[in-house]
A and B are shown apart, each in its own frame.
Chain A
């Protein structure tokens, strides 16, 4: 064990894995550090001096917070609709035998197996041909479309692993169709539905390529960042990026702590 070479050989996976993790985290560290920068020019790419200005005035850049709130709205609505539609499809696929199952499965799979730009371009072709005004609604339509498949995949996985006898047991124990769904099906499928919803929210909020094609003059937060990469990057972008990262990590950690406590409380 004294031999450093032996130690290295034993831990090569750990070292390589942590190296990858560092590679993945590094940009977030840079984003955070540069949120305290006070750049001289229009671009926030080189370190000048420490400053809290951007943190004191996060909405100090024209249109940025507006685009952020627009992105949140779109993400919320597309999550709601995609989760509802996707959950229904997942249940139909797992729980019922019907014709055209194969076709439905392929239709769900295709959007995930296609470069985003192809869907983006073809949607634009549709909207242009139909003469539909690009904006909030076209973005929302597009986001619901590509989130749908991911929700179906997440919910399907969960419902597939669920014993259909549980629902039969509920019906056998005097629960009608609605009661069965509310008391048994939904609670058991909930983790899958939640995973699908979270995924859609993240995908929609962060989507750029499809939005870029179908937004017209409407500016979502990613669109704002894209534009600023050309015109000049305000420090406030880093503030938002950092805040979102910290909030997300805190929420996940809090969720885990609640989960752990519940687990410990169970066996009395």
Chain B
């Protein structure tokens, strides 16, 4: 036996040398993070600080603004514009629900039923992205034009009576009504719903469907008890990716709506860029941020999933 544990001559010698991970090696992650994190700190966090300070300033454009810790701006801004806040949440919520309702069947179709058409369908879902969304939103002006074929059909099947009863349309017009804005929001954010839904559906092992069927579950039950719960991560991230941008959007309300459909985004935009009342605009965007972050946090807690990114 040439192999020996603890050869007798070894312990008598000096203390074993101590190796430590070199400083250079330990700094690698920080070097990798540095540029990007610095960018976010300077152009994402710092602006928030500036905006916070702007929101508690008073003054005018001519005399300049000064920090006076005037928190009253928040209260004034909220009381004056709470209808727009409510409207934003309502429109964004409705659009999110519609996206889920419309997007789920398509995501399901692509994931399980499309076969060799799967890639083509995916391309068709993504392709509209490549045309500027403003151009596509403008196209809705043509589609929903007064007296056009789409509006005529909706009118004839009594759809407009229903939406009018819901307060979403007036008379036989669609353009410049809440319906048009919700329809535009739904359209714009559908891909953000479909893609996460698809990626979580696609991961489901189809043998689970077979197993559920084997265990006496009818197709509807299979969906309710197996497919839908397993697609929850997609549902959660899809609804967030739809609701968050929709709540701050002002493009659809501007292009497809009227003064009665102004959302909070429109108010912030005009306060900042036209009226130049910076403190009010800053306070409004902080209130919006707070509302969205609180809602998102509660939603994520309740949905019990945290792997969003």
Segment with Cβ contacts to B, from A55-63, A115-123, A162-170, A182-190? A115-123
- Chain A residues near B37 (CB, 8 Å)? 89, 104, 107
Question: Does A115 contact B134, Cβ atoms closer than 8 Å?
Answer: no
> Is A76 in contact with chain B by the CB < 8 A criterion?
no
Segment 207-260 of B: residues with Cβ below 8 Å from A = 240, 244-245, 247-251, 255
Q: How far is the CA of A202 from the CA of B308 in the complex (A)?
A: 21
**Contact for B139 among A16, A31, A88, CB less than 8 A:** A31
Contact for B36 among A89, A116, A233, A240, CB less than 8 A: A89
Min CB distance B304 to A, Å, is 17
Main secondary structure of the interface of B (DSSP, over half): helix
A194 within 8 A of B: no
Q: Describe A's contact surface by its main secondary structure.
A: helix
* Contact call B129/A145, Cβ cutoff below 8 A: no
Given known A-B contacts A115-B289, A206-B132, A233-B138, A107 and B45 have beta carbons under 8 A apart: yes
Q: B127-138 interface mask toward A, CB cutoff 8 Å, 1 = contact, 0 = none?
A: 111111111111
Chain A proximity of B24: nearest CB distance (Å): 12
Mark the stretch among B79-87, B98-106, B166-174 that contacts chain A.
B98-106
Q: How far is the CA of A148 from the CA of B38 in the complex (A)?
A: 12
Q: A241 touching B48 by the CB < 8 A rule?
A: no
For A34, give the chain B residue with the smallest CB separation.
B142
B63 to chain A, nearest CB (A): 15
Contact B43 A237 (CB under 8 A): no
Whether the Cβ atoms of A27 and B187 lie closer than 8 Å is yes
CB pair A25–B51 under 8 Å, yes or no, is no
Q: Is B32 an interface residue (CB 8 A)?
A: yes
Tally of chain A residues near chain B (CB < 8 A): 85
Q: Which residue of A lies closest to B129 (CB)?
A: A202
A208 touches B273 (CB 8 A): no
**Residues on A with beta carbons closer than 8 Å to the beta carbon of B53:** 129
Known: A88-B33, A117-B269, A206-B132. A14 touches B123 (CB 8 A): no
Confirm or deny: A8 has a beta carbon within 8 angstroms of a beta carbon on chain B.
no
Query: In the complex, how many angstroms separate the beta carbon of A11 from the nearest chain B beta carbon?
Result: 9
CA distance A252 to B128 in the complex (A): 13
Flag whether A213 is at the interface (Cβ < 8 A). Answer: yes
- B131 and A208 contacting across the interface, CB-CB below 8 Å: no
B33 contacts A46, C-beta separation under 8 Å: no
**Is B308 in contact with A144, judged by CB distance below 8 angstroms?**
no
Residues of chain A within 8 A (CB-CB) of B281 are: 121
Which residue of chain A has its CB nearest to the CB of B112? A13
Cα–Cα distance between A108 and B50 once the two chains are bound (Å): 20
A17 contacts the other chain (Cβ, under 8 Å)?
Answer: yes
Residue B11 lies at the interface, judged by CB distance under 8 Å to chain A:
no
Residue in contact with A213 in the complex, picked from B124, B130, B272, CB distance below 8 Å = B272
Least CB separation from A95: chain B residue: B29
- Given the known inter-chain contacts A212-B269, A244-B131, please indicate yes or no for A23 contacting B245, CB distance below 8 A: no
> A residues near B, CB below 8 A?
13-14, 16-21, 23-28, 30-31, 34, 45-46, 85-86, 88-89, 91-92, 95-96, 98, 104, 107-119, 121-126, 128-129, 141-142, 144-145, 148-149, 152-153, 156, 202, 205-206, 208-209, 212-213, 221-222, 225-226, 229, 233, 237-238, 240-242, 244-245, 247-249, 252-253, 256
Sampled A-B contacts (9; CB under 8 Å): A21-B121, A21-B125, A85-B39, A115-B247, A122-B285, A152-B36, A209-B249, A226-B134, A240-B135
